[in-house]
């Protein structure tokens, strides 16, 4: 049992815990070997889970890549994650698009479905309400894509009969801001 003096040195567990939510971080880095490994290693070593991550080179002349990371955390933890990412070399900058409040986010899903007499009518009705696009269709199979906010993509996937799904691939979140400013110059 702790003494009253020892107890004062520990944070109390009274009161509500900070609420976790999803955050989208945008990280601009030099495109070099091992960069993704360093970022994921930094986060996993501290017990942070990456929900989605997407990366691509966006400035070929300067070899800059743009990484979008979605993670679930409390506000204090997300501040720690941002601070730790900013210390990595060669990270140019990190932006918390969620807290900035002006993000436009999209996710792409490509879904291969059984498209036979059992499922065809239901799939057509569902697809009409989600602005999907047919990529290919052959025999009793259809391949569709949906590009939307993550919640909308999840809603579409959950509305499709589970036994109709043959394969599913999701891109993870990509994001930008709702303003006229460049986050990174594409080419000089």
109 with 163, same domain: the answer is yes
Tell me if 146 sits within 8 A of 109, measured CB to CB: yes
Neighbours of 156 (CB within 10 A): 20
pTM: 0.82
Residues 92 and 39 in one domain: yes
Question: Residue 13: which pLDDT band, with cuts at 50, 70 and 90?
Answer: low
Query: 111 pLDDT exceeds 50?
Result: yes
pLDDT at 138 > cutoff 90: yes
pLDDT, tens only, 23-52: 999 999 999 999 999 999 999 888 888 999
Residue 15's pLDDT band (boundaries 50, 70, 90)? Answer: low
pLDDT at residue 187, as a whole number: 63
Q: Same structural domain for residues 131 and 159? A: yes
Q: Note whether residue 185 is domain-resident.
A: no
What is the domain count for the chain?
A: 2
Task: Please give the Cα distance from 57 to 63 (Å, whole number).
Answer: 7
As a whole number of angstroms, the distance between CA 144 and CA 128 comes to 12
Percent of the chain with pLDDT over 70: 90
Burial class (CB in 10 A: 0-12, 13-18, 19+), 115: buried
147-185 pLDDT tens trace: 999 999 999 999 999 999 999 999 999 999 888 777 776
Q: CA 103, CA 101: separation in Å to the nearest integer?
A: 6
Average pLDDT rounded to a whole number, residues 106-117: 97
CA distances from residue 108 to 126, 169, 174 in whole angstroms, order as listed: 17, 8, 9
The domain of 118 spans: 104-177
Residue 56 has pLDDT above 60, yes or no: yes
Q: State residue 165's pLDDT score.
A: 98
Point out the domain boundary residue: 50, 67, 101.
Answer: 101
112 and 89 housed in the same domain: no
């Amino acid at each position: 049992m702790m003494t009253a003096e020892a107890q004062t040195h520990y944070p109390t567990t009274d009161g509500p815990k900070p609420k976790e939510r999803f955050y989208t971080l945008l990280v601009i880095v030099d495109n070099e070997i091992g960069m993704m490994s360093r970022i994921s290693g930094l986060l996993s070593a501290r017990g942070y889970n990456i929900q989605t991550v997407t990366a691509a080179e966006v400035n070929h002349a300067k070899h800059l890549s743009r990484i979008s990371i979605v993670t679930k955390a409390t506000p204090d933890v997300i501040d720690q994650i941002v601070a730790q990412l900013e210390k990595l070399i060669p990270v140019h900058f990190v932006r918390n698009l969620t807290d900035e409040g002006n993000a436009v986010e999209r996710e792409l899903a490509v879904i291969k479905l059984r498209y036979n007499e059992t499922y065809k009518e239901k799939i057509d009705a569902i697809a009409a309400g989600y602005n999907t696009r047919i990529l290919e269709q052959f025999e009793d199979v259809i391949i569709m894509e949906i590009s939307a906010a993550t919640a909308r993509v999840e809603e579409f996937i959950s509305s499709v009969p589970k036994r109709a799904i043959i394969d599913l691939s999701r891109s993870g979140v990509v994001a930008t801001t709702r303003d006229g400013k460049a986050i990174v110059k594409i080419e000089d």
